[in-house]
Homo-oligomer: A and B are copies of this chain.
Amino acid sequence: MKLSQLGEFSLIEEIRRATPVGRGVRIGIGDDAAWVDNTLGSSLVTADLLVEGVHFNLKWTSMFELGYKSLAVNLSDIAAMGGVPGYIILSLGIPAHFDSKQVALFYRGIFALAKPNRVSLVGGDTNVAKLLTISVCVIGHAPYPPIRRNTARVGDDIYVTGTLGDAALALKFLLHRKRAKRRGALAQLLRRHHRPTPRLAAGAALARRKLATAMIDISDGLLQDLGHICKASGIGASVWKDQLPLSRAYRTLTGKDGIRYALSGGEDYELLFCARPRDRARVRKLEGIAHVPITRIGTCVPAPLGIDVVDDSGKSLHTSITGHDHFTK
């Protein structure tokens, strides 16, 4: 049924019915505010705003995938603090011509990721808007002191989880409506684009073991997000080009773009963190615990050296490739 027929309050009622009852939720959807438990006495809070035409394109993104990804990017922020997510507050601005089935599909995408991570939708707002607008806020807790951006030190190793550039390379194929000869490889990249995996186990394990000296999730591209750590910590960084973890699918399809997307493509949602050299063996062990590859890709250097990308022979790329800025492009 079109939302213009269904009406706001029937829609809210449909959403309420579809929402699983969650742990710690004393009052969920349907009142002025939700009421939830926060047993640790402190909360982690993060939010993302996604607008049609800026952050996603409904031509190539299904409503299910959009729901999944909207939650994933927020869980990734909680992971980057070493926290555990608990509650979702979701506000949607929806064009009135949308069908309630599309909205239901969006929520199914949310729940598909929420359920295995034991996160509960507890409230939000639903409104009409010209362009589909998604605002997600996630509240979590920090069983261990959160890992910040501003605490990396010169001499620390630099690591990333997973592989880099897959989501951005997928977007290139989507934007140029390119078909790849290697359809299996493209399918893998597209999955990484549409369903990023928030690295919650890795983030929490790093916090529990106090292994990361600084951490951020890669949403705007490796170099840009590394730049945030460097600026906040007052250091520089040397990144080893030949050590960047690339997926087989990425290597198959990147062509002459090489490592461009791995360095500066957005939406990896992998964790980028620093750790002391003496903890290398302990970091390596985490791969098995968090079920994700962890690769050492560089080292923290004094601030005047800036951020440099070097190859195995030590030659600098003098890269001017940067990441994404929403206002300046």
Residues of A within 8 A of B (CB): 3-9, 11, 26-27, 30-51, 53-55, 77-78, 80-81, 83, 87, 89-94, 96, 122-131, 133, 135, 137-140, 142, 146, 148-149, 215-217, 228, 232, 325-329
Whether the pair A87, B45 counts as a contact (CB closer than 8 A) is yes
Assembly CA distance A327 to B33 (angstroms): 21
Whether the pair A148, B27 counts as a contact (CB closer than 8 A) is yes
With contacts A32-B77, A325-B8, A327-B3 taken as known, whether A91 is within 8 angstroms of B47 at the C-beta atoms is yes
Assembly CA distance A93 to B48 (angstroms): 10
Whether the pair A127, B51 counts as a contact (CB closer than 8 A) is yes
Residues in B with CB closer than 8 Å to A8 are 325-328
Whether the pair B44, A41 counts as a contact (CB closer than 8 A) is no
30 contacts between A and B (CB under 8 A): A4-B328, A5-B328, A6-B327, A9-B228, A11-B327, A31-B149, A32-B77, A32-B81, A33-B46, A33-B81, A33-B146, A34-B44, A35-B43, A36-B42, A37-B42, A43-B43, A45-B139, A46-B89, A47-B91, A47-B123, A47-B135, A48-B91, A49-B133, A51-B128, A53-B130, A54-B128, A89-B137, A96-B327, A133-B133, A135-B137
- 8 A-B pairs besides A7-B328, A31-B148, A130-B130 with CB distance below 8 A are A32-B78, A35-B81, A45-B122, A45-B123, A45-B137, A51-B133, A96-B327, A130-B131
| A18, chain B: closest CB distance, angstroms | 18
Residues in B with CB closer than 8 Å to A34 are 44-46
Assembly CA distance A43 to B45 (angstroms): 12
Assembly CA distance A303 to B149 (angstroms): 57
Whether the pair B9, A54 counts as a contact (CB closer than 8 A) is no
Residues in B with CB closer than 8 Å to A137 are 45, 47, 89, 91, 135, 137
Whether the pair B135, A54 counts as a contact (CB closer than 8 A) is no
Residues in B with CB closer than 8 Å to A90 are 47
Query: Which among A94, A215, A327 has the greatest number of chain B C-beta atoms within 10 A?
Result: A327
Residues in B with CB closer than 8 Å to A30 are 149, 232
Assembly CA distance A324 to B43 (angstroms): 35
Residues in B with CB closer than 8 Å to A48 are 91, 125
Whether the pair A81, B31 counts as a contact (CB closer than 8 A) is yes
Assembly CA distance A327 to B95 (angstroms): 9
In the complex, the chain B residue whose C-beta lies closest to that of A77 is B32
Whether the pair B216, A55 counts as a contact (CB closer than 8 A) is no
Contact with A7, one of B26, B44, B47, B327 (Cβ below 8 angstroms): B327
Whether the pair A91, B37 counts as a contact (CB closer than 8 A) is no
Whether the pair B129, A54 counts as a contact (CB closer than 8 A) is yes
Residues in B with CB closer than 8 Å to A93 are 49, 51, 54, 133
| A52, chain B: closest CB distance, angstroms | 9
Whether the pair B146, A45 counts as a contact (CB closer than 8 A) is no
Query: Which among A30, A77, A92, A326 has the greatest number of chain B C-beta atoms within 10 A?
Result: A326
